[in-house]
Amino acid sequence: MRKKGFIGFVGRWSWLLIVAFLVLGWKHPIIGSLALVCMIAPAIVAAWKGGRVWCGAVCPRGSFNDNILSKISRSVEIPSIFKSIWFRVLFFIFLIYNFVSGVIKANGDLVKIGFVFYKIIFLTTAITILFGIIFNERTWCSFCPMGSLSALITKIKRKLNERPKRIRVDQEKCVNCKICEKECPIGLTPYDFANNNDKDLDCLHCEECVYACPVNALERK
């Protein structure tokens, strides 16, 4: 991602946080509870700014995907099944079941609860790496529960007539070359983002499509 300044710096190096978390959390499970910050941050930012801004700018896992996983990924098209609503819902239920049952079994022990968080992050990181290698480094982002929640929050904000920033396309300039689709980390179609539809709800706001457009038909505003 090409974010500049402090945000760009954080985005380039935040992957170190998830590595440190996985290494230190194994021996010190209480650290696992810190995962809660990254679990709720995307939704908070979406409620504030609108869109999956966290995902494309500073998310530690997203940073890991872009800076590390991309080097060994096949970088092919993400299967549509991972973007489907039913798959996202089923995966969310699976994670919630494992989390809630783990917390109940912890019986109030903070260390054990921390380890529940740790196991969830370990599991989802393993899934991220597996699918990231087989398909695309950002495959995880297409069904990430918190990313999906951020998209839902953005949809609600739009229903309330709020106007958070989004990628907009100037139809008069667009030549339908579809370069923007090729540059999008999760395979969205910015050239088809009419200003009044929701095809961009999963947009990471990385602006790769904006930079790539040869006729400057795209703009985040």
pLDDT of residue 79: 96
Mean pLDDT, the chain, whole residue set:
94
Name residues whose C-beta falls within 8 Å of residue 215's C-beta, 6 or more positions apart in sequence.
173, 174, 175
Residue 164 banded pLDDT, cuts 50, 70, 90: confident
pLDDT of residue 196: 65
Average pLDDT over residues 29-55: 94
Question: Is 185 in the same domain as 136?
Answer: no
Residue 1 banded pLDDT, cuts 50, 70, 90: low
- State percent of the chain over pLDDT 90: 86
Question: Is 30 in the same domain as 132?
Answer: yes
In the predicted model, is pLDDT for residue 197 greater than 80? no
In a domain, 160, yes or no: no
In a domain, 22, yes or no: yes
User: Can you say whether the dihedral through the CA atoms of 187, 189, 190, 195 is positive or negative?
Assistant: negative
Structural domain including 47 reads 5-153
In a domain, 146, yes or no: yes
pTM for the whole thing?
A: 0.91
